[in-house]
Structure 1
Amino acid sequence: MNAKPRLNIGAVRSSFAPWADPSAKPLVRFDQVTKRFGGETAVDAVSLDIYEGEFFALLGPSGCGKSTLMRMLAGFETPDLGRITLGGEDLAGRPPHLRPVNMMFQSYALFPHLTVAQNIAFGLRQQKKPKAEVAARVDEMLALVRLEGLAHRKPDQLSGGQKQRVALARAIAPKPRMLLLDEPLGALDRKLREETQFELMALQQRLGMTFLIVTHDQEEAMITADRLAVMRAGQLAQIGRPAEVYEAPNSRYVADFIGDVNLFEAKVTEDDGDIIRLVSPEAPEGLEAIEDDAIAIGSTAWLAVRPEKMRVHLDPPPPGPNRLEGSVADIGYLGDWTTYLVELPGGRTIRAARANASRVVDRPVDWDDKVWLTFAPDSAVVLTR
């Protein structure tokens, strides 16, 4: 028997960008949507397009409005202002069970008295599908999520990962046009969560279905999503591909929320069109960054540098901009990475990270070592807000 060809997810995802096509029509459109609870605004005039076949992530801290936005799409909440369309049709007034979306909840919400097969079949039976069609679809879903031998078990006989697969199969079985995932992996342990993230991506590509995931886990959003939207206080702070948002954040909030970052407050002293030069008390020899946008001389800006862009030196590098001196205050060994907390003379702590590419290090950086940190001008992002 020939092996099933492996889907090249990378090739598919790298070429998928309908949002860049002016003629492409979104599957889902949030148009100036606002939702209030009492005197609090949970979602504030949000406009957002999600395209057919896209894996989209809403990312943000608790209370930022991401779950409320999803619940309005599912029909569990009603917008106070604005409208939501799916496939060009206004969803206003349409109850949840008549919307072409299914939602997978963080708790999984499996029926404890039903078997795995009966849980998966639930939505199909609600649709009054013929018995033979239901049985065939259940078998298809069991194979899809690799639970063929567990059809007759009850939920209390399953592991957390198995329950998650049953919930996913049940949500997909009725063939919704869109699947909504509300913190779907939060109950799994770290290793299983990481494995399931890649399984979700492969499953979404095989089904060709549109996925919308809500999560506060930045790693989860960056791994799974074609695009993500970072939310803050009911508004969209930035939308883009994961790498774009990580490498080119548009604000200190986004830079700080997505991954670790060192932020240097500084004054702009020179802008020659390509290079921005700045002064900061934390960098006696000055700071430099590559920046295309013009920034007013004398204005305040913040230089954002990711820890992995920092280079740690035990011997002093040549004098010049983007050179900091300090001592190692703490070290975190993570196996694949080592993180160094370096205290500058003024008391500020800077974070640097180094990949452990070799098992042997001639002279490892140790606690209390005097070190120098450097970074390239193209490693820094200039932020003005």
Structure 2
Amino acid sequence: MADSAPRPPLARFEGVSKRFGEVTAVNDVTLDILEGEFFALLGPSGCGKTTLMRLLAGFEAPDGGRVSLGGQDLAGTPPHRRPVNMMFQSYALFPHLDVAGNIAFGLRQEGLGRAAIAARVEEMLALVQLTGLGRRRPDQLSGGQRQRVALARALAKRPRMLLLDEPMAALDRKLREETRFELKALQARLGTTFLIVTHDQEEAMSLADRIAVMREGAIEQVAPPAEIYEAPASRYVAGFLGEVNLFEAAVTGTEGGLVKLAGAACPAGFLAQAPDAPPPGTTVWLAVRPEKMVLAQDPPAAAAPNTLAGEVRDIGYTGDWSTYVVALEGDSTLRVARANASRHVQRPIVRGDKVWASFAPDAAVVLTR
């Protein structure tokens, strides 16, 4: 967000639950979405994120708990009376109306005057960079342009909160990446609260001020993107956002502000930073991102903590990064990512090479669940 001053909650879920028959889609969720922020609900299909959004929009009613907006309980308020608007995944444009007609539809429903509607439509066309295309039909537009029309229609009524349901799912990868920056810049310019539902981790990380990671109808963690990535609250969160190496270990003690751990993967043991280290004997998991590991072709001079020996099983090259799959003793593997900062490598690592992967104590996150 642009400033660090505390903001009041705009939308609030208090102990909200929703069931469909015997299936609990949302389970006792408590969550605040702040005024003016770009908030993301992130999780796999069936985790409850879309149901939570539909509860806010008024398309579903909670079986328990309270949903409020701006301090007003929304119970019994129909969707068209709520100060929110929703942009659907399918865009749901009217094929018989041109671009201007689609944008103006909701304004006409509200009884706005003709001159006011025309002015608002032109304002929205300029906002989404579609000036001059008002007379085109949806089938004469590209996928990215249709998405912008749907966005303009959703914003035309000037809602206090815009709800985005997988808004970029229909776009190709390159267009999705371009659209993310445009959407983020648009939200910052308007200052409107945006709530996006997505299963795409990159999308959530690049757009949102804060992310709620959902699992089986409940919230696992709510935090800014960098905190969720660098300090996940659980193995589930660590694994859902990007690649991660997980090592099971047992706490054996502390040493100089570091926690000492014993694990089968590393004969010399592990050392990690953990301000709130659990007591000795506790089983934990060390989470280490692939890009925070170092790969060497020469063995360490002596047995060193956080150093694992293995053999390169596979290499994935993506241009800017190379990912090495390293087979450890037994059936386990780990991943090490290296930035391809130079065009030339003196000693390239190839499949079958014996290597040593290591990481610094502050690169690991100690997880208890």
Q: Same fold (TM over 0.5)?
A: yes
Q: Aligned equivalents of 1:316 and 1:180: distance in 2? A: 53
Uncovered stretches (5+) of structure 2, i.e. residues with no partner: none
Using the aligned pairs only, state the percent identity. Answer: 68
**1:100 matched to 2:83:** yes
Partner of 2:215: 232
- Matched residue, 1:376: 360
| Mean CA deviation greater in 218-227 or 267-276 | 267-276
Matched, 1:53 2:22: no
Superposed displacement of residue 273, structure 1: 7.0
User: Per-residue CA shift, 1:106-160, capped at 9, x if unaligned?
Assistant: 0000001100111011111111111111111111111111111321111111111
Other-structure match for 2:318: 334
Q: 1:17 to 1:41 in 2, by over 3 A?
A: farther
1:317 aligns with 300
- Taking only aligned residues, the RMSD between alpha carbons, in angstroms, comes to 1.1
- Check conservation: 1:34, 1:41, Cα contact below 8 A: yes
- Name 2:247's counterpart in structure 1: 264
Q: Does 1:15 align with 2:26?
A: no
After superposition, the C-alpha distances for 1:307-355 in whole angstroms (9 at most, x for unaligned) are 0001111112343100011111000001111100000122211011011
Among residues 46, 49, 58, which one is paired with 1:66 in the alignment? 49
Give the Cα separation in 2 of the matches to 1:56 and 1:272. 40
Question: What amino acid is the match of 1:156?
Answer: D
> In the alignment, does 2:200 pair up with 1:217?
yes
Cα distance between partner residues in 2 of 1:294 and 1:268 = 8
2:132 partner SS: helix
Q: String of CA shifts for 1:164-193, please: whole Å, max 9, x gaps.
A: 000000000110010000000000000100
Residue 129 of structure 1 corresponds to 112
DSSP-derived class of the 1:188 partner: coil
Stretch of structure 1 that moved more, 288-297 or 268-277: 268-277
The answer (yes or no) to whether the contact 1:326–1:370 under 8 Å persists in 2 is yes
Deviation at 1:16, TM superposition (A): 3.6
Can you list the C-alpha shifts for 1:207-252, whole angstroms capped at 9, x where unaligned? 1100000000011001000000000111110000000010000111
Could you tell me how far apart the structure 2 residues matched to 1:369 and 1:322 are? 20
Tell whether 2:213 aligns with 1:244: no
Residue 365 of structure 1, CA deviation: 1.1
CA distances 1:262-292 after superposition (whole Å, capped 9, x unpaired): 0000111112472111111111111110000
Q: Which residue of 2 aligns with 1:255?
A: 238
* Unaligned segments of structure 1, at least 5 residues: 1-12, 19-23
1:356 paired to 2:327: no
Distance 1:140 1:318, change over 3 A: farther
For 2:262, the equivalent position in structure 1 comes to 279
Maintained 8 Å contact 1:181/1:212: yes
Q: Report the AA paired with residue 204 of structure 1.
A: Q
Separation in structure 2 between the aligned mates of residue 88 and residue 127 of structure 1, nearest angstrom:
24
1:168-179 paired onto structure 2 within 5 Å? 168-179=151-162
| Partner Cα separation in structure 2 for residue 198 and residue 32 of structure 1 | 34
1:88 to 71, 74, 84: 71
Equivalent position of 1:184 in the other structure: 167
SS of 1:15's equivalent in the other structure is coil
Deviations 1:31-83 (A, max 9, x none): 10000110111101100001110100000011100000000000000000011
Mapped contact 1:273–1:292 kept (Cα < 8 A)? no
Cα 1:62–1:273 shift into 2, 3 Å: farther
Q: State the TM-score, normalizing by the size of structure 1.
A: 0.94
Q: 1:210 to 1:301 in 2, by over 3 A?
A: same
- 1:15 Cα offset (Å): 3.1
* Partner Cα distance (2:256, 2:267) in 1: 23
Of 113, 127, 141, the match for 1:144: 127
Equivalent position of 1:8 in the other structure: none
Contact preservation (8 Å) 1:246, 1:258? yes
Provide the rounded CA distance (Å) in 2 between the counterparts of 1:345 and 1:384.
Answer: 24
> Retained in 2: the 8 A contact 1:282–1:346?
no
Q: 1:295 to 1:273 in 2, by over 3 A?
A: farther
TM-score (norm 2): 0.98
* Residue identity matched to 1:59: L
Residues matched between the structures, number: 368
Q: Would you say the 8 A contact 1:42–1:65 is kept in 2? A: yes
